[in-house]
Chain A
């Protein structure tokens, strides 16, 4: 039946396209929960994509590619951490600088690799037994890579750490009231460094995933603004990994919709749709009492020094 194939292809696409958005959003949630806004997602993602592609190409292993992408993302995020935590620089400007640097560096270093396809992309798997379930099987358990499932599994894990463990309490207290956290013996700077690094690792993997699995090739600027959507998703998610999951797949569905509508509306206008939608969604969640109850971490973007306000 036609609606069945339509449903299967839509959900299947959501799962694939939502994965990089979800991974990077989870990371940014941790960074922002600890009080550090990192607008460099786009830069870390594109560096991850570049490093992941080149490594996977040379080693013939997409997994090593993802590993190196994670390391590069982490290294890049530490620049931001150093500037904003240690040097107390303005976080907005530092994040923008990171994005500029990432786009520039990947553009220069990646030029010899431009347009090259990756011969050995991430293998697609079929989950035995589950793949035989009608509709659900082909939708969720056939033709995906392991990364899609890992991303989903990270959601409960990261939610649990953030809201049910001592580490999570440290992270949130550092983001809400660093002075009190400090007086209770939490090392504010260390927690912030670690959270920014987690954000970098996940953004790097998200970019790497784009280059070794989603579209196995390297093209300059291939993240195409995804990093900024991630920033919007983090707000949309109220800094909660579970809502982040819903948001990432919602956006993926919207991308899919913009492909589907092409026979009727010109493709350029449809491509603008996700960006318009990001704004509309933020307007939507800003209404009502939710915003006040689940607002941004109180110390977001504010550097902390002991003994100074």
Chain B
């Protein structure tokens, strides 16, 4: 039973970072080509489209500011997701955790009397706690009842979205909103300062970079970080080593949910300065950040780079929407393609694939 072996697949003994980088870049290039074919079919020159995306997102002060604004939530959420994915907890619920963080911050901003200098810090704490609580629900469901994490985190996204809608149409509807579905504008003490002339709320950006560094140290250098990696890579070994899976899952979701909650604080207090329709508040950051974290190969530090890359894609998507009249949904096509090429290329990282053109 011999068959001509024209493809040979061997396991690579070690994984060099250069192979990872090379394969990742090749995957993105392949996705760009595939998306280019799609542009072409849609009657738009791919060169023009990519040129517009790059110049639109990076070629001007306004463009860079837009890119930065979108990078902030992707960075915060992406860092949290790398930690969750390390423990193989599939947190697809960052979208909902972001919204609950936004709700908590809005509650503090509008309805809690307190000294004004304390308001912003308390909002950040409330947002973190809100997101963490929303993230802990699926964590508890998993360790206590064995409920599939993908499903529970996803379902809670929808629930959080409807709660926001209920709040802005009902109890929290702003008296000054004149019939529109949003809350009142935040008081000045509840606004995160921005770089003048832009919507870049820089304190949240600093928070994101700090989070990336701290998460990196946590995962790579501490005992608990080691436990997280063992649970993710070899659950059986974790069990024999006496590592509590419960503790690990709760810890990663506390952090992952909390960071998404912080992203929610940034969006309401830094960008919108009010609570409004969930679709306008989030733009799918929770889902895009999954790709951000995966492209970073679950390394929190690398998220700083990958989140900026997707900040460019999102800001560029806005530009081609306006100047070429293409729907923003194009960004999702693009994201889906990148994700496919990324995971498809992983085999080329783990295995060396060679082609033997001559039959033996």
Contacts and interface: CB of A to CB of B under 8 A. Distances in A.
A100 B148 contact: no
A283 B145 contact: yes
Contact of B330 (A89, A108, A220): A108
Interface residues of B, number: 42
Given A104-B335, A275-B155, A283 B344 contact: no
Nearest to B325: A111
Contacts of A96: 92, 287, 290, 339
A157 interface: no
B162 A92 contact: no
B159 A97 contact: no
Interface string A143-166: 000000000000000000000000
A87 B347 contact: yes
Interface string A225-246: 1001001100100000000000
Contacts of B141: 279, 282-283
User: Chain A CB within 10 Å — which of B90, B166, B290, B331 has the most?
Assistant: B166
Contacts of B166: 266, 268-269
A89 B333 contact: no
A100 B335 contact: yes
Interface in B329-350: 329-337, 339-340, 343-344, 346-347
Contacts of B162: 268-269, 271-272
B92 A272 contact: no
Given A96-B92, A228-B151, A103 B145 contact: no
A181 interface: no
Interface in A169-188: none
Contacts of B309: none
Main secondary structure of the interface of A (DSSP, over half): helix
B42 interface: yes
Nearest to A295: B146
A291 interface: yes
Given A275-B159, A283-B141, A108 B148 contact: no
B134 to A, nearest CB: 13
B327 A108 contact: yes
Interface in B292-308: 294
B7 to A, nearest CB: 11
A276 interface: yes
Interface residues on A, range: 35 or more
Interface string B158-185: 1100110110011000000000000000
Given A96-B290, A107-B327, A232-B151, A272 B158 contact: yes
Nearest to B163: A272
B154 interface: yes
B42 A101 contact: no
Given A87-B347, A97-B340, A108-B42, A235 B329 contact: no
B329 A107 contact: yes
Contact of A83 (B145, B148, B290, B343): B343
B152 interface: yes
A279 B157 CA distance: 12
A111 B325 CA distance: 11
Contacts of A235: 148, 151
A101 B31 CA distance: 12
B147 interface: yes
A175 B343 CA distance: 22
13 contacts: A87-B347, A94-B339, A101-B337, A104-B330, A104-B334, A107-B327, A108-B333, A111-B327, A268-B169, A268-B170, A269-B166, A275-B155, A283-B145
Interface of B: 42, 90, 92, 141, 145-148, 150-152, 154-156, 158-159, 162-163, 165-166, 169-170, 287, 290, 294, 326-327, 329-337, 339-340, 343-344, 346-347
Interface of A: 39, 43, 79, 83, 87-90, 92-94, 96-108, 111, 220, 225, 228, 231-232, 235, 266, 268-269, 271-272, 275-276, 278-279, 282-283, 286-287, 291
Q: Which 4 A-B pairs have the closest CB atoms?
A: A104-B332, A107-B329, A101-B336, A104-B333
